[in-house]
Structure 1
Amino acid sequence: MPKKLIRITTIPLSLEKLLEGQLTYMNQYYEVSAVAAEKERLNKYGENNKVNTFWVEMTRAITPIQDLRAVWKLYKFFKKEKPEIVHTHTPKAGIVGMLAAKLAGVPLRLHTVAGLPLMETKGTKRKILDQVEKFTYKLATKVYPNSRGLKDIILKKGFATEDKLKVLGKGSSNGIDTRYFDPFQFDTTQKKNKRESLGIPQEDFIFIFIGRLVSEKGINELVEAFNNLQAENQNISLLLVGPFEKELDPLKEETFKTIQLHEKIFTTGYQEDVRPYLAVSNALTFPSYREGFPNVVMQAGAMNLPAIVSNINGCNEIIVEGINGVIIPVKDTSALITAMKLFVENKNYTERLSSNARDEICKYYERKEFWQILLKEYKSLEREYIKS
């Protein structure tokens, strides 16, 4: 009988996007179950990926009563299933999953940290989130920050000790499928048609952003920088691929209005497949305030796009200044303008970065290699912690 592995994220979107393909791969070696909220979407994920599913209601907000219900439901599930490994992702799934697994006596309790939302929080809420994070790590057997910078932050904050932390490979939670993110799948005609359908002039230099259109992703600064630059350089466009989240982290009102009214800013909403948008673009702009190990930067690189990223963990590990992109200070609009201007005006420089971009990603972040590293880690921990 194969050993049981349970993977938990707060919402199915994380299973679909952040861990794409990974659970199906692990299903060859374990009996895998995926746990998340949003029952219908989770069931669909299970069918598509041929893994078991178990639904637990969870939210990304602070909801203690609901969270305790989730812990109790998971505890009963673990006692029944008796998994060898429970592996959580995202803060809420982490605290709920690790607590239930500890109470149920699960031998291997693993938690991946793919970013710290608390970094942009202050006051009492920050204190609560700090304690929750610390408690999650205490409950876990092993904690996996998905970047070296994130590991340093965790140590500096005193959330966990060095012996409990490990970065797998060069970082990331899932690597990247470089055969899927391949620029050569899109020919000149396809790219021309895509620009036409978006309403973007063929001669324009396109800056692209992919992700949630919220303040902590640096969208206020990006829109302001683009607005300034476009006033003096007509042949540039800004393509924003992703959803607005007005409830959790809204943009400034003036930013939102500029996005709606500017004739050279284009929005697409959430897109299942971002490759056609990367294929028509010239550079990624990603001025985020905090990340774990951003998939978008890897995806853009694999599609031959140089990137402008903020100097935060993850971003400054994927991008090497002057090799495959430019690194700017966080929340610095003028530095962003300077970098964007450099990309538009110095074609030789931009082409050089572009020619290196894909090689850098293929060399270090191939998805199947990451899966093998993770599987090896599971097997090593089994030998260490589980009596046969």
Structure 2
Amino acid sequence: MVVVTAGVTARLFMRGYAMFLAQAGYEVTLVANDVSDISRALAEAGVAAFSLPMRRDPSPMQDVRSLGRMISLMRRIRPDAVIYATPKASLLASIAARLVRVPVRIYELWGIRFETASGAARRIFRGIEQTIAASSTAILANSASLADQAIRLGITKAGRIEVPASGSSHGVDSGHFSPAAPRPALDVDTARFLEQYAGTTIGYIGRLHPDKGVETLLEAAALVREDGLEVRVVLVGGDEGLDIRNERRFPVHRTGEAGDVRPYLAEFDILVLMSLREGFPNVVLEAAAMEVPAIVSDATGCVDSVIPGVTGVVVPVGDVAGLREALKAVATDPTWARQMGIAARGRAVEAFEPRVVWAALEQHLRAQLNRVGERKNYRG
């Protein structure tokens, strides 16, 4: 059984892995809040799908009901292993699986939500992570820095957490994310913006949230323009409470949410992600596959997503001056930027193809199941 909270996460991150496991001979059930939009495709691949109401944010009454449904579902299916990711699904599935005595309980850790929290929220979310870890028989982090941080913050102990292959939750489809692949046309407003303003295109893709470091990006880009270099910024993503100010009035364009980010990546000279925390940023892999290098912060998860000086640049979290210099280096040396982009795609193809990531995860799953089998045989 594979469990995540949101249907969109099941569709984008776990559907391929569930199908991969089915092809490998496992009987697989994928569970999320709503899987109705992918249930037919899953069924055709031999994967059962089950919609189980779950809320992302804390909701005690709803969470108790969801836990009851999760326990009932596990008792009916009797899985040999449960794999779970995302905070709410992991909390419910880990507790239910432990109560039902599922022998293999694997927590795929994709980020630490309380890393940037404080006060009561930090204590609550830290307790949730510790509960999930204690209820799991194995923990798989999707980056080395995330594994280190989980140990440092007391979520788990060294020896209980591993990083399969090179990390990532599901890799990147380098055939889909490719400069040579057909893609939709750029939207009219963005095309008009790019025609109006010349210069190096600095891009950001993701939630417009304070944790994402967008303000650091805008401040550094404005300084680069004041240094006499022509740069323009394109922000792709939905607004999540970030008050974006452009007091210097340099060229900044917001596209809103995008179903397909490839038309924007194709226009970027550099992707910037100055996030305060990540697990392993998928957008950096998608940019890499499109031959776009990245400037990232040295925050958890981000630091693993590039090879400094080869596929991108790493700048300390919140370091406006450092980002300013990195952006100037890219803007004044397009040959170097191009070389990094080519190297980034090479790394994406070699280390982060989905089947490479899935095979590493399946190998770990198989090892866990084999250990259970060996214990049963030993006990007779």
**What is the TM-score with the length of structure 1 in the denominator?**
0.89
Partners in 1 of 2:319 and 2:13 — Cα distance?
Answer: 28
Q: 2:341 aligns with which of 351, 354, 360?
A: 354
Work out whether 1:337 is the aligned partner of 2:324: yes
User: Corresponding residue for 2:20?
Assistant: 25
User: Corresponding residue for 2:369?
Assistant: 382
Q: Which has the larger displacement, 343-352 or 131-140?
A: 343-352
Work out whether 1:197 is the aligned partner of 2:191: yes
Gaps of 5+ in 2: none
SS at match of 2:111: coil
Work out whether 1:44 is the aligned partner of 2:37: yes
User: Corresponding residue for 1:7?
Assistant: 2
Alpha-carbon shift at residue 143 of structure 1 (Å):
0.7
* Counterparts in 2 of 1:192 and 1:121: CA distance versus 1, 3 Å: closer
Partners in 1 of 2:63 and 2:228 — Cα distance?
Answer: 51
Alpha-carbon shift at residue 124 of structure 1 (Å):
1.5
User: Corresponding residue for 2:300?
Assistant: 313
The letter of the residue matching 2:304 is E
The letter of the residue matching 1:323 is V
Work out whether 1:138 is the aligned partner of 2:134: yes
The letter of the residue matching 2:76 is K
Partners in 1 of 2:66 and 2:297 — Cα distance?
Answer: 36
Q: Could you list the per-position Cα deviations for residues 151-192 of structure 1 after superposition, in whole angstroms to 9, with x for gaps in the alignment?
A: 1111122221223211111111112211221112269xx889
Alpha-carbon shift at residue 239 of structure 1 (Å):
1.3
Alpha-carbon shift at residue 44 of structure 1 (Å):
0.4
Q: Which has the larger displacement, 358-367 or 49-58?
A: 49-58
The letter of the residue matching 1:118 is F
The letter of the residue matching 1:164 is R
The letter of the residue matching 2:194 is I
User: Corresponding residue for 1:153?
Assistant: 149
Partners in 1 of 2:319 and 2:190 — Cα distance?
Answer: 33
Partners in 2 of 1:222 and 1:20 — Cα distance?
Answer: 33
Q: Answer whether contact 1:328 1:336 (CA < 8 A) is retained.
A: yes
Partners in 1 of 2:65 and 2:246 — Cα distance?
Answer: 43
Gaps of 5+ in 1: 1-5
Partners in 2 of 1:192 and 1:133 — Cα distance?
Answer: 41
- Map 1:205-220 → 2, pairs under 5 A: 205-220=200-215
Partners in 2 of 1:287 and 1:16 — Cα distance?
Answer: 27
SS at match of 1:293: coil
Alpha-carbon shift at residue 350 of structure 1 (Å):
1.9
* Counterparts in 2 of 1:193 and 1:140: CA distance versus 1, 3 Å: closer
SS at match of 1:266: strand
Q: Answer whether contact 2:186 2:263 (CA < 8 A) is retained.
A: no
Q: 2:87 aligns with which of 85, 91, 94?
A: 91
Q: Answer whether contact 1:183 1:304 (CA < 8 A) is retained.
A: yes
Partners in 1 of 2:300 and 2:348 — Cα distance?
Answer: 17
Q: Answer whether contact 2:2 2:29 (CA < 8 A) is retained.
A: yes
Q: Answer whether contact 1:78 1:104 (CA < 8 A) is retained.
A: yes
User: Corresponding residue for 1:111?
Assistant: 107
Alpha-carbon shift at residue 129 of structure 1 (Å):
1.1
Partners in 2 of 1:213 and 1:130 — Cα distance?
Answer: 24
Alpha-carbon shift at residue 193 of structure 1 (Å):
8.8
Alpha-carbon shift at residue 146 of structure 1 (Å):
0.8
Work out whether 1:224 is the aligned partner of 2:219: yes
- Count how many residue pairs are aligned between Structure 1 and Structure 2: 370
**What is the TM-score with the length of structure 2 in the denominator?**
0.90
- Map 1:257-272 → 2, pairs under 5 A: 257-258=245-246, 264-272=251-259
Q: Answer whether contact 2:296 2:314 (CA < 8 A) is retained.
A: yes
Partners in 2 of 1:192 and 1:153 — Cα distance?
Answer: 39
Q: Answer whether contact 1:34 1:46 (CA < 8 A) is retained.
A: no
User: Corresponding residue for 1:3?
Assistant: none
* Counterparts in 2 of 1:193 and 1:84: CA distance versus 1, 3 Å: closer
The letter of the residue matching 2:338 is E
SS at match of 1:162: coil
Work out whether 1:66 is the aligned partner of 2:62: yes
* Counterparts in 2 of 1:198 and 1:69: CA distance versus 1, 3 Å: farther
User: Corresponding residue for 1:162?
Assistant: 158
Work out whether 1:180 is the aligned partner of 2:176: yes
SS at match of 1:308: strand
Q: Answer whether contact 2:18 2:28 (CA < 8 A) is retained.
A: yes
